[in-house]
Amino acid sequence: MDNDTLKNYLTANSQVVTIFMEKATTFLNQKNEQRLAARQFNEAEINRQAEKMLDQVIANIHDKIAPTPAPKRPKHGKHS
């Protein structure tokens, strides 16, 4: 399962993506209010930043649940 598949699965089967995006957007808007008026992001940029945060979280989740390869065992051969 890749990151996009995981994201689609979470979107279709839970509210986690919706809740995360709401909280991320709120956080980014609050942070944006502290910026100088001339440097504030528009709504599209806020949404891009929130999507970027979501993608990072999805990648982190994916890395934690992805199966890891079994450690290689030393071969028991003849010793010289």
* pLDDT tens profile 26-41: 999 999 999 999 999 9
Mean pLDDT of 42-71: 91
- Residue bearing tokens 């996009």: 4
d(CA 56, CA 63): 11
Q: 10 lies in a domain?
A: yes
pLDDT at 67: 81
- Which token pair is 64? 């934690």
Q: How far, rounded to the nearest angstrom, does the alpha carbon of residue 58 sit from its chain's CA centroid?
A: 3
| Residue span of the structural domain in which 27 resides | 3-65
3-21: pLDDT as tens digits: 999 999 999 999 999 999 9
Q: What is the DSSP letter of 6?
A: H
Q: Are 3 and 62 in contact (CB under 8 A)?
A: yes
Smallest CA-to-CA distance from 56 within 20, 9, 23 is with 20
pTM (2 decimals)? 0.77
Let me know if residue 26 belongs to a domain: yes
Structural domain count of the chain: 1
